[in-house]
Amino acid sequence: MRTLLLTSALMAGLLGSLSAIPVPVPVPYHAFCGSLWLFGLPCAEIGSRLVEQIEAFSLQRGCAECQYTLVSATPLNIRANHTSAGGLQTENITLTLSPISMTSGCRVSGQSVSVSFTSCLDDGLNYCNLRNLLTGCGLNYVPGLMELTNEWTCLGYSLSTCKA
């Protein structure tokens, strides 16, 4: 019964937030990805786990997928950069957290946008920037997780092969 209530509340939150699926406003010829995640955990826990993962990745050496730098963090907004391709390409990452009052859950809008001039098809690099943070801190195992993204909001999504 509790699972049914949680699922119903998450679906209500989802339906109420479909219009808020992040669609980055890309600069022409810059690769980008927008994704929306719904969690059954409070935003304070989600945010702290994401910040801790960015900081943990920034300490790892020799991991091309793990070159993250925390730019700023507030309870509802996290900004970071990811450097890839041997330091030749940088992506700006923004995570916006919004509490879901009905479930005490959290809605996270994530965006990753390449800074430099690149092909619009990045083989899912920007999607993997977001997904690697999620999986790195174990949020992909949170019960009730829902991820909403597609090829329209996340160029290269169907081509992605995330490694971290």
Summarised one tens digit per residue, pLDDT across range 94-146 is 999 999 988 889 999 999 998 876 556 677 888 999 999 999 999 999 988 99
- Is 131 inside a domain boundary? yes
Strands of the chain, DSSP E: 32-39, 68-74, 77-84, 89-100, 105-114, 146-148
Q: What is the pLDDT of residue 160?
A: 80
- Is 9 inside a domain boundary? no
- Is 1 inside a domain boundary? no
Q: What are phi and psi of 138, to 5 degrees?
A: 80, 10
Q: Which domain holds residue 123?
A: 27-159
Q: CB within 8 A of 135, min separation 6: which ones? A: 162, 164
- Is 13 inside a domain boundary? no
- Is 11 inside a domain boundary? no
What are the tens digits of pLDDT across the range 33-69? 999 999 999 999 999 999 999 999 988 876 766 789 9
Region 18-32 average pLDDT? 57
Cβ(64)–Cβ(79) below 8 Å: no
Q: Which residue has the higher pLDDT, 156 or 1?
A: 156
- Is 14 inside a domain boundary? no
Count structural domains, the chain.
1
Q: What is the pLDDT of residue 21?
A: 54
| CATH code, domain carrying 120 | 3.30.310.80
- Is 8 inside a domain boundary? no
Q: What is the pLDDT of residue 164?
A: 60
- Is 22 inside a domain boundary? no
